[in-house]
Chain A
Amino acid sequence: MSMRLYVSRDAGALAVGADEVALALEQAAAKRGVAVEIVRTGSRGLYWLEPLVEVATPQGRIAFGPVTESDVPSLLDALASNTPHLLRLGATDEIPWLKRQTRLTFARCGVIDPRSLDDYRAHGGYKGLERALSLGSDAILTEVTASGLRGRGGAGFPTGIKWKTVAQAKADRKFIVCNADEGDSGTFADRMIMEGDPFLVIEGMTIAGLTVGATKGYIYIRSEYPHAVEAMNAAIQAARRGGYLGDKIGGSAYSFDLEVRVGAGAYVCGEETSLLESLEGRRGIVRAKPPLPAHHGLFGKPTVINNVLSFAAIPFILAEGAKAYADFGMGRSRGTMPIQLAGNIRYGGLFETAFGVTLGELVDDIGGGTFTGRPVRAVQVGGPLGAYFPRALFDTPFDYEAFAARDGLIGHGGIVVFDDSVDMRRQARFAMEFCAIESCGKCTPCRIGSTRGVETIEKIIHGERVSENLALIEDLCNTMKFGSLCALGGFTPYPVLSALKHFREDFVPAPTTLQAAE
C-alpha cells in the first residue's frame, strides 16, 4: 500500500520551498523503494509551519513542519519505523492554532486537492448549489439576506440587498463579477482560497448568477497572483468538463459560464467601478456613483460585483442555512471573518473566526507577538487605507462598527504588526506616497492631495515648522476624506491621521530642557 502525503502548492508555501520538499520526498522515497502518493493541496494557513507535510493515517492526518529538504530522509525514517520526529506536530486538526478557529469558508482549504472536482464534491462541495437550484431566486435572496452576510471586500454592504437590486433590474444581459484584485498589503485570503479551494468561488458565483438571472461571470485577478490565475483557470475547465459550468449546469435548465481576466498592476482597480472600467478594456478610472453597478455595471448592464470571500461564504449559507451562519458573530457583523495575521508576527497566517474577537487576542495571543521578539508598537488593520492602532486600543473587538467607532476599518481583514523600531512618520508618508503612485487621477483631492501630503510630511520629518505643518496635514486629510470620489483618496487619511493621533511623539520632537548657558 502506498503512503499518502500532502504538501501545499499555495504560493506562500512555494515561497518557502514547498516544491523542493515535495521533490525531495518523491526522490528519496523512490530511492528507498517506498511507494508514495504526494497530493498537492492548498495551505492550511499556518505559514510559520510551511512547508508543512502531512501524512494520511487511519487516525487522520499527522503533520510535520516546517520541513526543509534536509529533513526529508529523517522524516521518511520516522514514518517508516513509526518513531518520533523533532518536527512532528501531531494530528493536524488538533494543532491548537487551527483547532480554535471556526472554519466555515476555509473548511476545505489545505485539505483537498484544488485541481480535483471529485475531491471538492467528496468534501461537501456543490451542496449549496444543489439546494439553491431547488429553492429558486426569491428563496435564495431570503437566505442570503437572513445570513447577515456583508461584503467582505471592506465596505461591508449587505450582500442580500445588492443581489436583490440586481435580481429586480430589467435588462437583456446581467453579469456577475468577482473582485479578486486583492491589493491590500497584509491580506492574502482571496489568494489562498483561489489557490486552495477554487471550486468554492465558482460555486458561489454560480449561485449568484442563478439568483439574479446572469449567465456570464468574470473573475478579475491581479497580475501579482499568477498561481491563483492558474488555479482558477484549471478549476473552471474542470467544472466545465464536470457539467458545473456551461449549458444546463448540474442537470438544470440554467446556464452559467466564467472567464478569468488578469489585472495589470493598478491598485485602484480593487475599487469596484475602476475594476469594471478595467474589465471593459479601459484605464482604471473610478466612476461616479450613482448609478450603482447593480443598475449600471459592466458594459452598462446590471452587475453583482462582490469580493472573493463574499462569494466563497455563499455555498455554506445555502448548504447549511442562513441561521447556521448568522449564529456566529456580534452586532451587525454576522458569521465569520477570515482574518490575516501578517508583517512582523510570530505566528502569521489565516485565522477564520466569528466576529467579536479582540485585536489584542489576535495580535498577542493568537499571533504570538512579533517574530523579532521586540514589543508590538503599532498594528495596521485593513490594508494601506486602514488605521494604525496602538496597544491602548487592543480591546477593540473585530467588528465593522466597533472599528469605525475608533476611526478605523476592518477592510479585508488584514492585520500588519510592527515592532517598536517603527517610525510612524515614515508610515504616514508612505500612506500618502502610495496614494500618489496609485491614484487614478480623476479627482483633485486624491491626485494632488496625496502629493502635497508627501511633501508636507517630508517637511515635518525635516523639522520645518512642525506644528503648522501638522495642522496643514490634518486639514488636507479632511479635504481628501470628504472630497475624494472613492476609498483610495477618501481613506488614505485613516493611516495618516491615526499615526498622528496615537503616535504623536514620533512627529513632535521631545521638548529639550532649556538650560542656562554657562
Chain B
Amino acid sequence: MTTPYELWDEARGAEIIAEHAQQEGATLVILHALQEAFGYVPEAAIPMVAQALNLSRAEVHGVFTFYHDFRHKPAGRHVLKLCRAEACQAAGGDALAARAEAKLGVSLGNTTADDRVTLEPIYCLGLCATAPSAMLDGRLIGRLDQKRLDALVAEAQR
C-alpha cells in the first residue's frame, strides 16, 4: 500500500495555509488541513502558520503541542486506535489492549519498528453500547473480542 499523503512541499504548505488563513481563529483549522495533506504537521510549517496569522512561533508551537491529534512525524502505514475509556474497560478492553501490545510488540502510543502499524489509545469513540471498540484507519469496529482483534492486527500488519 502506498501512503495516501503528499510529501512535504513548502509551496503546497503555503497554499493550504493561505486557503484557511482568513477564517477567524484559524490555527486549528490550518493544522488539521496540513495534517490531512501530509499525514503530520512538518516543523517547517509552524513558522509559516505563525507568519500567516500574525502570531509568534511559540504560540503556534504551543497550540500544536497542546492537542493529542497533531503529529510531528508521520504515523505508521496503518493506525489502529483502541478505545481505553471506562465503557470499554467495563467490557474487557484492558485485556484486549494488552493482547494488541503483545502481538505488535509495541506499547500504546508507539509505532512498530517496520513502520507498518501505529497503535494508539483513544478516549471514547462514542460506541459505548457496542463496547469494546476500535478504529483502523478511520474504519470503526465494535463488539471487539479476541478473534476480531487478531484479525484487525493481522490486517494492519499486511
B99 shortest CB reach to chain A, Å: 17
At the interface with chain A, which of B5-13, B110-118, B134-142? Answer: B134-142
Known: A191-B126, A430-B86. 5 other contacts (CB 8 A): A11-B127, A284-B66, A341-B129, A384-B86, A430-B89
A380 closest partner in B (C-beta): B86
A-B contact count (CB 8 A): 151
Specify which chain A residues have a CB less than 8 angstroms from the CB of B124 in the assembled complex: 183-185, 187, 224
B138 adjacent to A226 (CB under 8 Å): yes
Instruction: From the candidates A48, A185, A223, name the one contacting B69 in the complex (CB within 8 A).
Output: A223
Specify which chain A residues have a CB less than 8 angstroms from the CB of B125 in the assembled complex: 11, 15, 224
B141 closest partner in A (C-beta): A15
Specify which chain A residues have a CB less than 8 angstroms from the CB of B46 in the assembled complex: none
B128 adjacent to A281 (CB under 8 Å): no
Interface residue count on the B side (C-beta < 8 Å):
41
A225-B126 in contact given A265-B69, A281-B27 (Cβ < 8 Å):
yes
Instruction: From the candidates A12, A278, A344, A349, name the one contacting B28 in the complex (CB within 8 A).
Output: A278
B128 adjacent to A340 (CB under 8 Å): yes
B1 shortest CB reach to chain A, Å: 20
Contact residue range for chain A? 35 or more
Instruction: From the candidates B63, B92, B141, name the one contacting A282 in the complex (CB within 8 A).
Output: B63
CA distance A417 to B87 in the complex (A): 7
A187 adjacent to B70 (CB under 8 Å): no
Within 8 Å of chain A (Cβ to Cβ): is B24? yes
A contact set with B: CB distance below 8 Å: 11-12, 14-16, 47-48, 50, 182-188, 191, 223-226, 261-267, 278-284, 299, 340-345, 348-350, 371, 380, 384, 414, 416-419, 422, 427, 430, 434, 437-438, 440
Which B1-60 residues have a C-beta within 8 angstroms of A?
A: 24-29, 31-32, 53, 59
Specify which chain B residues have a CB less than 8 angstroms from the CB of A342 in the assembled complex: 87, 90, 128-129, 131
A185-B128 in contact given A262-B28, A266-B66 (Cβ < 8 Å):
yes
Proximity string of chain B (54-87) to chain A, C-beta cutoff 8 Å, 1 when within and 0 when not: 0000010011001111100000000000000111
B contact set with A: CB distance below 8 Å: 24-29, 31-32, 53, 59, 62-63, 66-70, 85-92, 122-131, 133, 138, 140-143
B62 adjacent to A283 (CB under 8 Å): yes
B85 closest partner in A (C-beta): A185
Specify which chain B residues have a CB less than 8 angstroms from the CB of A343 in the assembled complex: 86-91, 128, 131
B122 adjacent to A345 (CB under 8 Å): no
B123 adjacent to A185 (CB under 8 Å): yes
| Centre residue among A12, A183, A223, A284 by max chain B CB count within 10 A | A12
Specify which chain A residues have a CB less than 8 angstroms from the CB of B86 in the assembled complex: 185-186, 343, 380, 384, 416, 427, 430
A284 shortest CB reach to chain B, Å: 6
